[in-house]
Amino acid sequence: MTSNLTKKKEPMIPNKIRIGTRRSPLAMWQSKYIEGLLLGKWTELQIEIVPIITTGDRITNVPLPKIGDKGLFTREIEEQLLLGEIDLAVHSLKDLPTSLPDGLIYAGSPKRADARDAFISTKWKKLAELPKNGTIATGSLRRKAQIAAIKNEIRFADLRGNIDSRLRKLDEFGYDGILMAAAALQRLERADLITEFLAPETFIPAVGQGAIGIETQANRDDLQELLLPILDADTILCCRAERAFMCTLEGGCSIPLGAWATISDEHIHLSAFLGSPDGSRTIRNSLLFPKSNPEEAGIELAKIFLNEGARDILESLK
Catalytic residue (choose from 57, 69, 95, 171): 95
Task: Give Cα separations from 119 to 14, 129, 162, 212, 281 (angstroms).
Answer: 43, 12, 16, 22, 23
What residue ranges of the chain have pLDDT lower than 70?
1-10, 60-70, 251-253
Judge contact between 60 and 78, C-beta under 8 A. Answer: no
- The yes-or-no answer on residue 95 being catalytic is yes
Confidence at residue 252, expressed as pLDDT on a 0 to 100 scale: 66
Closest by CA position to 34, among listed 88, 104, 114: 88
Confidence at residue 2, expressed as pLDDT on a 0 to 100 scale: 44
Q: Domains, the chain, ranges and CATH?
A: 10-111+211-231 (3.40.190.10), 117-198 (3.40.190.10), 232-318 (3.30.160.40)
Confidence at residue 61, expressed as pLDDT on a 0 to 100 scale: 61
Confidence at residue 160, expressed as pLDDT on a 0 to 100 scale: 80
Task: Give Cα separations from 110 to 29, 50, 83, 238 (angstroms).
Answer: 14, 20, 25, 12
288-317 per-position pLDDT tens digit: 999 999 999 999 999 999 999 999 999 998
Confidence at residue 162, expressed as pLDDT on a 0 to 100 scale: 83
